[in-house]
A and B are shown apart, each in its own frame.
Chain A
Amino acid sequence: MTPATHSNWSLWMRQILAIMRIDLRKTFFAKRGLWIYFLAFCPEIPMVGHWLFSNQTDALANDVQIFSGIFQVFYLRVAIFFGCVGIFSNLFRGEMMDKSLHYYMLAPVRREVLVAGKFLSGLVASVVIFGGSTLLQFPAMYWHHGRELMHAYMFTGPGMSHLVSYFTAAVLACIGYGSLFLASGVLFRNPLIPAAGLLMWESINGFLPALLKKLSVIYWLQSICPIAMPNPRGNARNIMALLVVDIDPAPAGLAIANLLLIAAFVVVWAAMRARKLEISYGTD
């Protein structure tokens, strides 16, 4: 029965799994998290509409461009960004608000292990929700072209490689934004303020000098996307121009490595700060 007989790594793994068991249940089944599901799966609505009401004369190449636009403008910058705010900020700050974080703090769990467990919980939840939705968006977008064309696009054309790239970008977005919002939940009483700051920074990324561009998540994510964002036409041009700025993309391997490094650095930093975290929901 004595847990002390386990090696440290074995104990930490058990503790991380125990933390994930508690947190995943909360994240997946919380009523207040319903908006995250909506955000994650709302691209499917117009895509399915397109499928149902399309005259099937659109070129596949058009849909590839449209998908790239939706994914990079809406899905990465809005859906995953705000979804990660909802999931990762709540891991610490949400429990502070609910006055239930102390139950973790009173367990024989190193704060570093707690941060790791919570980050992994958030990551699994966000990858299942947003990665899963990305995988669903593909057939929703292209199915109306017919089974044969779809099959050819996926298995003899670039479709599968695009899908892998988009899925990778979605997972890395969850890792990158997740690490930042986890840290903001540890450090800030109101994590919406740093989230707004980050949103602003990510939005102006295209206008920044080359070096500063790299100090963002979106730059590396766009480097992983297989298709550059389409240039807007007509009335949308002025608004979209704010978001569609040509970037000089980094190689995908470098982008993945950099995003992982940024996330690892932020999570380690959050873990160090969590050592000093105090529970004071209100003084006596």
Chain B
Amino acid sequence: MTPKPQTDIVFDNVSKFYGEVLGVNRVNLSIPPGVTSLVGPNGSGKTTLMNMIAGLLHPSRGSVVVCGVEPDDAEQFFRMVGYSTQYDSFPRGLTGYEFVECYLRLFGYSAKDTQRLAWEAIDRVGLREPSARRIAGYSKGMRQRIKLAQAIAHRPRVLVLDEPLNGLDPLARAETIALFQALAAEGSHVLISTHILHEVDLISDHVIMMNQGYVVAEGQIRGMRDEISEHPMQVLIRCDKPEYLASQLFGEKQVVEVRLHADRAGLLVRTRSAEGFYKLLNHIALNGVQIESVAPADDDAQSVYEYLIGHEESTR
């Protein structure tokens, strides 16, 4: 029987120390294809983790295997992996096109293929026109995009992007997110680190949350939220009689807190059991309350991050 090809990025008990300083500790992960966001405060170990996926750092302990290949096998590994680092630095004196083209040549492509792939990548990030200008004259957003072009030019299956949305204007940001989603739809891994939590929900299929060198949670946001039992689930209910509904809910066991929404057209309810609460709500609704909508109010990345890592850290 042919073994199933390995498609995940696998961290097996990985630790990284810089001398006595902890980078990451005992990381066990299996990251499937799709868009995965890596979130955490500064110094949490995100870049260390990404650098290990890309083979720029070696684990002090454990192993990292990307789609069945280890970073030591450079010739195979780096045809599969593209990495746009957080470093806003480029070789001196190069134009955008030369930057993409000259590193593509290291892959051994012919001059014709190199040119074609370079233009294809430059077009994908929308930089054809300024690509003849020197990178030194680019804006921060253009530098981000030319780095992205360089990372995707060889059509990698695994794309690692450290803070790729930094410095992008809203239009470029939307286009870049669409590009990530298109790459993920083609079956690629797109691993992104970001500080902008409200975009994590929009971008990601999976989220990895890190703090102080440890992975504190991983998976889909909703699944993560369900695991956080010490913070009651918050639900926003839009209805025609919020005050009446509030009075009905106050006495119920599973309801921890009820607040009228600021616009007085709804309620924010905290409950320990979402399932029990929804049953209760069905029952109350039968008593003449017109409920327009019921939606979880804190199962987004921002809320989960605040519960797990803390508000102070999240706003740093």
A108 near B76 with CB under 8 A, answer yes
Q: For B106, what are the chain A residues with a Cβ–Cβ distance below 8 Å? A: 15, 18-19, 104, 107-109
Candidates B51, B76, B90; contact of A279 at CB < 8 Å: B51
Q: For A233, what are the chain B residues with a Cβ–Cβ distance below 8 Å? A: none
Q: For A237, what are the chain B residues with a Cβ–Cβ distance below 8 Å? A: none
Residue of A nearest to B86 (CB): A284
B108 near A11 with CB under 8 A, answer yes
Residue of B nearest to A108 (CB): B78
Q: Is A30 an interface residue when CB atoms closer than 8 A count as contact?
A: yes
Which residues of chain B in 54-78 are interfacial with respect to chain A, using CB atoms and an 8 Å cutoff? 54-58, 72, 74-78
Q: Is A189 an interface residue when CB atoms closer than 8 A count as contact?
A: no
A21 near B58 with CB under 8 A, answer no
Residue of B nearest to A29 (CB): B93
Chain A interface size, under 10 / 10 to 19 / 20 to 34 / 35 or more:
35 or more
**Cβ of B76 to closest chain A Cβ, rounded Å:** 7
Q: For B109, what are the chain A residues with a Cβ–Cβ distance below 8 Å? A: 1, 3
Q: Mark A265-276, 1 if CB is under 8 A from B, else 0.
A: 000000000011
For the complex, what is the distance from the CA of A177 to the CA of B112, rounded to whole Å?
38
Residue of A nearest to B55 (CB): A105
Q: Mark A2-31, 1 if CB is under 8 A from B, else 0.
A: 011010000100110011011001100110
For the complex, what is the distance from the CA of A6 to the CA of B57, rounded to whole Å?
29
A30 near B110 with CB under 8 A, answer no
For the complex, what is the distance from the CA of A109 to the CA of B90, rounded to whole Å?
19
Q: Is A102 an interface residue when CB atoms closer than 8 A count as contact?
A: yes
**Cβ of B103 to closest chain A Cβ, rounded Å:** 5
Q: Is B45 an interface residue when CB atoms closer than 8 A count as contact?
A: yes
Q: Is B105 an interface residue when CB atoms closer than 8 A count as contact?
A: yes
Candidates A22, A29, A106; contact of B56 at CB < 8 Å: A106
Q: Is B314 an interface residue when CB atoms closer than 8 A count as contact?
A: no
Residue of A nearest to B72 (CB): A275
A21 near B108 with CB under 8 A, answer no
Residue of A nearest to B99 (CB): A103
Q: Mark B216-258, 1 if CB is under 8 A from A, else 0.
A: 0000000000000000000000000000000000000000000
**Cβ of B167 to closest chain A Cβ, rounded Å:** 17
**Given known contacts A99-B89, A102-B87, A111-B74, A284 and B56 CB-to-CB distance under 8 angstroms:** no
For the complex, what is the distance from the CA of A11 to the CA of B75, rounded to whole Å?
10
Q: For A30, what are the chain B residues with a Cβ–Cβ distance below 8 Å? A: 92-93
**Given known contacts A25-B93, A26-B91, A102-B87, A279 and B57 CB-to-CB distance under 8 angstroms:** yes
Q: Is A148 an interface residue when CB atoms closer than 8 A count as contact?
A: no
Candidates B44, B74, B93; contact of A110 at CB < 8 Å: B74
Q: Is B304 an interface residue when CB atoms closer than 8 A count as contact?
A: no
Q: For A6, what are the chain B residues with a Cβ–Cβ distance below 8 Å? A: 108
A103 near B105 with CB under 8 A, answer no
Task: Specify which of B42, B44, B102 lies most central, judged by the most chain A CB atoms within 10 Å of its CB.
Answer: B102
A107 near B89 with CB under 8 A, answer no
For the complex, what is the distance from the CA of A95 to the CA of B91, rounded to whole Å?
8
Q: Mark B1-44, 1 if CB is under 8 A from A, else 0.
A: 00000000000000000100101000000000000000000111
Candidates B76, B77, B92, B103; contact of A103 at CB < 8 Å: B103
Residue of A nearest to B75 (CB): A108
Q: For A108, what are the chain B residues with a Cβ–Cβ distance below 8 Å? A: 74-79, 106-108
Which residues of chain B in 169-189 are interfacial with respect to chain A, using CB atoms and an 8 Å cutoff? none
Further contacts, 5 of them, CB under 8 A, given A6-B108, A103-B91: A15-B106, A15-B108, A100-B91, A283-B43, A284-B42
What are some 15 contacts across the A-B interface (CB < 8 A)?
A1-B110, A1-B113, A3-B107, A6-B108, A15-B106, A15-B108, A19-B106, A26-B92, A99-B87, A103-B150, A106-B81, A106-B83, A108-B107, A111-B74, A278-B58
Query: Which 3 pairs between the two chains have the least Cβ-Cβ distance?
Result: A3-B108, A284-B47, A18-B105
